[in-house]
A and B are shown apart, each in its own frame.
Chain A
Amino acid sequence: MTLSRRNVLKIGGAAAALPLLGQKAFSQTEPLKVGFIYIGTINDNGWNYAHNQGRLYMEQELGDAVESVFVENVAEGPDCERVMRELVQAGCKLIFATSFGYGDYVIKIAQQFPDVKFEHATGYQRSENVATYNARFYEGRAVCGTLAGHLSKTGKAGYIGSFPIPEVVMGVNAFVLAARKVNPDFTITPVYISTWNDPAREADAARAMIDQGIDVIAQHTDGPAALQVAEERGIVGGFGQGADMSAFAPKAQLTSIIDNWGPHYAATAKAVIDGTWESKDSWPGLKEGEVVIGDYNESIPDDVVAAAEAVKNGQIDGSMHIFTGPINDHTGAEKVAAGVTLTDADLLSMDWYVEGVIPPA
C-alpha cells in the first residue's frame, strides 16, 4: 500500500516493547479474543485508522495467542452498549473502546460482565475491570512547536481543532510554549470547526489561516486536508496527524506525530493472557513509543532538526516537561510558578490558554 502504512508498522516494530519478542509460543490454550470498537471507519486516514493499525500490530506480535474482531462506525450512545455486549457474547475477553463518548456505556457493560476486561481510550472513568489509556500527544506537539519556532517566517501558526476539549487545548498550549522558547513573539490561533471529519472544511480553514499570514499549520482533526493546502500554497509547512502523511504533502510535512497504539494493545493483551492485567490509567508518550515522531523533512536544516531532537529526547529522558513553569496565561498573568510542573490531573482538565495563544471568542 502506501508508505504511511508501512511506516507505522515499521516504527511500531522498532519501538515495540522488547520483552514481547520471542514469546509467541505461550499459547497452549485457546487464543484470547480481543474486540475493538471504532467511532468512524478504519479508512479515515486518522484516529480510527491508527487504532486499527494498533490492532493489526497486536495480532502480528502475539500471533496465535490472540484473535481480534472490530466494529466500525459505532455511534457514541446506546448502540455502542449493544455492540460491546455482542463482542462479549462472541467470546471477547478484552475490549478496547476507542472513543471518549463510549465511557458511560463501558462502565455500565463492565458491571454486567466482570470477567471481561475493558480498556477505554481518552476516558477518565475506571472500575474493577475498566482501565483507561491515552497517549501524551502533547509531547509530540512540543517537538512540532520547536520546529515551528525555528522555521516560521511570520511567527504565526494556526491550529485546526474540532472542539475545545482539554486534549486539544493541551496540544495548542504545548505547541506554542515550545515555539516561544525559540521565538518569544510566536503566536498561535486555534480555529474550531465543530466536526472531526469534514475534510473540505478543514481545507478551507487552512486557506483562511494562510491568507492571513499564518505559515505553519497544525491540526487536531483527522486526515491530511490541511497539510495538502499547505503543500499547494507552498507555506513553511504542517504536520502529519496520527500517521505519516508525507505521501499527501511531501514538501509541506515537516514531520508527523504518529499514534502508535500497537505496543499498548500488545502489552495489554499479553497482561490479560498472563493474568497480570489490572485496572489503571496508562498515559504513555514518547518514552514508551506510543507517540512517535516521524521522519523530518529533508528541507529542514540540521541545526533545527537537532533542536527538535533535543526537545524530543529531553521528554524521553525526563529532563524536560513542556508544562513546567513559569507559564503565563493568554492575558499575561502568571499561571504556573517557575519550577512547578502541572500535574496530569491539571492537564486532563485544561481549559485555559497560555501566553501566545490568540484565544477564540
Chain B
Amino acid sequence: MPFRLEKRPAPSRLMLYATPFGALALTMIAGALVFSLIGYDGLAAVQQIFITPLTSTFRWQDLAVKASPLIIIGVGLAVAYRANVWNIGAEGQYIVGGLTGTWVALATHGMTGIWILPAMVLAGMAGGMAYAAIPAFFKTRFNVNEILTSLMLTYASVQLVYYVVRGPWKDPMGMGFPQTRVFSEAARLPNMIPGTIVHWGVPVALLVALVVWFVMSRSVFGYRIKVVGAAPKAARYAGFSTNATIWLALLVSGGLAGLAGVLEVAGPFQRMVPGFPTNYGFTAIIVAFLARLHPIGVIFAAIVLAVTFVGGDLAQTTTGLPSAASGIFQAMLLFFLLAGDILVRYRVRRVSSQPAAGVRAAAEAQP
C-alpha cells in the first residue's frame, strides 16, 4: 500500500471546514458525470441544481423560505449532537409543534388580537419539547436508546396528523377533504417584505442561529454541552450531570423543531394538511452534519440544501431531469461529506519503510 492513514494529534480545523466544500465540489463533478453517463445533460443539471437558484435574485426568497425551517431545526440538532444525544426524531417534534400551534389557531378561530401568534409560537415550542421529553425521560430513567424512541415517535406523529385532519379538526366547509380550515388573519404569520413570500420565520431562523452560537461559545451551558459530548468521564469529574444534559439537549432540539413547525404552519401553510410532514426534520440532520454542528455553519448548510431542492424542481423543467435526481444529489453530498470526515482526524501519508514514531502515542491520547 503506497498510502496510509495516520491519526492526527488533534483534529484538523482546516479540514473540518474545508471538507464540506470539497464534498460539494465532488458531488457536482460526480453528479455531472453520472447523469451524463445515463443520458441526461449532466453539466446543465448540475448548473440548474446548484448554481441557478443562487444566481437569480428572484429565487432568493424561495431559498430563504425553504432554508429557514432547516436552520431552526438544524441548529437545535447541532446542539444535541454536540452533547452526543442522537435525536433523530426532529421530524416528529416539528410535526407536533405544528399541531399544537394549529390547536391554538383553531381554538382562537375568528378572534383577533396580537397575542394569538405569540401564543401559537409558545404552544408550538411546548409541543416540540413535550414530544422530545418522551425520549429524554426514557433515556434518563431507563437508559432507552434515544435514536430508536425518537424515530418511532416520528412515525406515530405522522399518523396523528392524518387522524386530526380527517377527524376532529376537519374543515366543516372543506367539501370533506382532510384538512383544517384556513387560519384567521391573526393566526397567520405576516409577510416581512411586501411582494415577496419572505415571512417572519426567516429572521427568526437567523436570530436563533446567532443566539445559539453565542450561547454555545460563550456560556457555561455551551461549555457543558460540549464537555459532556466530547468527554463524558471528564464531565462527571467536573460535576456536570449527564442526565441534565440529555434533558437539555432534547428539550432544546425538540423546542426548536416545534418552533420550526409552528412557523411553517402559520406561515406558508396557514392550515394543517396531510402534506404538512415534508421531511424537514430528516433533512435538517444532513444540514447539521454538513455544518459540522456549528450554528453559523447551519445557516450556510441549510441554504445549500435549499438550493438543491429549488434547483431540483428547476432542473425538471429545463433539462427534463426526473425528481429522483435531487435525492441522488443530496445522498452523494452526504456520502462525500461523511467520507471526508476521515481527513479531519487522519492525514494521508505516503508510507515510508519506517513507521513514524510517536504517532501511536499521540493517537492514544485522542479518544
Contact = CB atoms under 8 A, between A and B. Distances in A.
Interface of A: 35, 41, 69-79, 81-83, 85-87, 89-90, 100-101, 104, 124, 163-166, 169, 194, 348-351
Contact of A81 (B162, B197, B278): B197
Nearest to A39: B275
Given A41-B322, A76-B275, A89-B58, A169 B310 contact: no
A71 B275 contact: no
Contacts, number: 80
Contacts of B179: 101
Contacts of B176: 164-166, 169, 349-351
B162 A194 contact: yes
B62 interface: yes
B178 A163 contact: yes
Considering residues B176, B179, B271, B318, which has the most beta carbons from chain A within 10 angstroms of its beta carbon?
B176
28 contacts: A41-B323, A69-B316, A69-B317, A71-B313, A72-B323, A75-B278, A76-B273, A77-B268, A77-B278, A78-B66, A78-B264, A78-B269, A79-B278, A82-B62, A82-B65, A82-B197, A82-B310, A83-B313, A104-B270, A163-B166, A163-B177, A164-B176, A165-B176, A165-B177, A165-B178, A166-B175, A349-B176, A351-B176
B166 to A, nearest CB: 7
Interface of B: 58, 62, 65-66, 162, 166, 175-179, 182, 197, 264, 268-271, 273-276, 278, 309-310, 313-314, 316-318, 322-324
B275 A101 contact: yes
Contact of A77 (B162, B276, B324): B276
A24 to B, nearest CB: 24
A163 B269 CA distance: 21
Given A86-B317, A124-B175, A78 B268 contact: yes
A254 B271 CA distance: 42
Nearest to B265: A77
A90 B317 contact: yes
Nearest to A69: B317
Contacts of B310: 82
A79 B313 contact: yes
A199 B24 CA distance: 36
Contact of B313 (A41, A86, A350): A86
A101 B272 CA distance: 11
Contacts of A69: 316-317
A76 B227 CA distance: 43
Given A69-B317, A74-B313, 14 more contacts: A41-B324, A71-B313, A72-B322, A78-B268, A79-B309, A81-B268, A86-B314, A87-B317, A104-B271, A165-B178, A166-B176, A349-B176, A350-B176, A351-B176
A226 B257 CA distance: 39
Interface centre among B309, B322, B323 (most CB of A within 10 A): B323
A38 B278 CA distance: 16
Given A79-B278, A82-B310, A86-B317, A73 B323 contact: yes
Contacts of B268: 77-78, 81
Contacts of A35: 317
Nearest to A99: B275
Contact of A72 (B58, B65, B316): B316
Contacts of A78: 65-66, 197, 264, 268-269
B175 A349 contact: yes
Given A104-B270, A163-B178, A166-B175, A71 B62 contact: no
Contacts of A90: 317-318
B269 A77 contact: yes
B275 A104 contact: no
A309 B173 CA distance: 37
Contacts of B177: 100, 163, 165
A351 B176 CA distance: 7
Nearest to B276: A77
A194 B274 CA distance: 10
A124 B162 CA distance: 22
Nearest to A194: B162
Contacts of B324: 41
A51 B166 CA distance: 27
Contacts of B273: 76-77, 101
Contacts of B317: 35, 69-71, 86-87, 90
A54 B179 CA distance: 29
A78 B306 CA distance: 13
Nearest to B63: A82
Scoring B179, B314, B317 by chain A CB atoms within 10 A of each residue's CB, the highest score goes to: B317
A195 B104 CA distance: 28
A91 B45 CA distance: 20
A164 B2 CA distance: 66
A90 B318 CA distance: 9
Contacts of A164: 176
A77 B66 CA distance: 12
A74 B270 CA distance: 18
A100 B182 CA distance: 15
B221 to A, nearest CB: 34
Contacts of A71: 313, 316-317, 323
Nearest to A36: B317
Residue of A41, A70, A73, A82 with most chain B CB atoms under a 10 A cut-off: A82
